[in-house]
């Protein structure tokens, strides 16, 4: 499969990975949301998702370790059982749902999330009961499309964590549920030759994007940056639907 990619397509893959992890380097999130829909325009989703999950996991290791003293375990543990259920359901669907339908579903999800990001929503608060839908959807969507992070972000935002606790806890959630997804993909045989080669080939672009993004001092506010990413997501979502 990778042998059929032209030089220009390989260049596009590298540019997409650099841009995705540049966004993550600046904002601390969003790499999968940018990478998966754009890469899915060039490669099958069943190859793209395991690759991005692996690359995201490697990118989360240092972040989680650096913020370990701020982890709020009482907010983290309620999510994990429901995340595991979502992962199991998603692995079942990956092997039984037609690839074109999954790609269209990804396009719809990306458009919905982009619109959600652009809306002026009020600040919300809620109990740990919200860990049930948030954990399940994070596992399900994260395994199907490598983009389950928004549900975890929404849950921790509802719980009202302060900035340091939020960053440390969400990085740890990504490490734990990312590890479960990696095991699930490996057991399901999704880390075949193409996925491993693409992961290896993408590491330089990922490292460069994280480094440059982490050292860029932008004058944009976080809100403005999120809106720019949302507009990019709208475009990629529409492209997936008409693919």
Q: What is the pLDDT of residues 172-213, one digit of tens each?
A: 787 888 889 999 999 988 898 889 999 999 999 999 998 888
Q: What is the pLDDT of residue 218?
A: 58
**Nearest 5 degrees, angle CA 201-CA 149-CA 164?**
105
Q: What is the pLDDT of residue 31?
A: 84
Q: Which single residue is written with the structure tokens 């809306």? A: 119
| Predicted confidence band of residue 76 (pLDDT cuts 50, 70, 90) | confident
DSSP for the chain reads -GGG--HHHHHHHHHHHHHHHHHHHHHS--HHHHHHHHHTTTS-HHHHHHHHHHHHHHHHHHHHHHTGGG--HHHHTTHHHHHHHHHHHHHHHHTTS-HHHHHHHHHHHHHHHHHHHHS-PPP----GGGHHHHHHHHHHHHHHHS--HHHHHHHHHHTT--HHHHHHHHHHHHHHHHHHHHHHHHHTT---HHHHHHHHHHHHHHHHHHHHHHH---SS-HHHHHHHHHHHHHHHHHHHHH-
**Does 134 have pLDDT greater than 70?**
yes
Two tokens, residue 109: 């999800």
> What confidence tens digit (pLDDT) does each residue in 135-183 have?
999 899 989 988 877 788 788 878 877 766 776 777 778 788 888 999 9
Q: Is the dihedral of CA 235, 237, 238, 243 positive or negative?
A: positive
**CB count in 10 Å sphere of residue 148:** 30
Return the half-sphere exposure (C-beta side, CA atoms, 13 A cut-off) of residue 161.
Answer: 22
Two tokens, residue 230: 């949302």
For residues 145 and 105, what is the distance between their CA atoms, to the nearest angstrom?
9
Name the pTM for this structure: 0.80
Q: What is the pLDDT of residue 152?
A: 83
Span 92-99, average pLDDT: 86
**CB count in 10 Å sphere of residue 23:** 24
Two tokens, residue 153: 């972000």
Name which of 102-111, 223-232, 234-243 the model is least confident about: 223-232
Q: Which of 87, 201, 77 is nearest to 146 (CA)?
A: 87
For residues 234 and 213, what is the distance between their CA atoms, to the nearest angstrom?
22
């Amino acid at each position: 499969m990778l042998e059929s990619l032209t030089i220009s397509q390989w260049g596009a893959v590298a540019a997409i990975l650099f841009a995705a992890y540049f966004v993550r380097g600046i904002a601390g999130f969003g790499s999968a949301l940018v990478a998966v829909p754009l890469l899915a325009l060039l490669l099958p989703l069943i190859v793209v998702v395991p690759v991005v999950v692996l690359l995201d996991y490697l990118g989360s290791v240092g972040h989680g370790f650096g913020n370990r003293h701020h982890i709020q375990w009482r907010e983290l543990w309620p999510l994990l059982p429901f995340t595991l259920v979502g992962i199991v359901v998603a692995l079942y669907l990956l092997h039984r749902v037609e690839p074109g339908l999954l790609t269209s579903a990804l396009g719809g999800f990306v458009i919905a999330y982009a619109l959600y990001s652009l809306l002026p929503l009020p600040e919300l608060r809620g109990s740990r009961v919200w860990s049930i839908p948030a954990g399940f959807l994070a596992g399900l969507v994260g395994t199907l499309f490598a983009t389950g992070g928004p549900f975890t972000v929404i849950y921790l935002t509802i719980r009202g964590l302060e900035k340091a606790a939020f960053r440390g806890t969400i990085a740890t959630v990504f490490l734990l549920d990312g590890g479960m997804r990696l095991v699930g993909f490996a057991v399901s045989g999704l880390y075949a030759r193409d996925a491993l080669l693409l992961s290896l080939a993408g590491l330089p672009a990922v490292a460069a994007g994280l480094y440059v993004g982490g050292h860029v001092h932008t004058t944009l506010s976080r809100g403005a940056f999120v809106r720019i990413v949302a507009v990019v997501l709208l475009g990629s979502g529409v492209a997936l639907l008409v693919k």
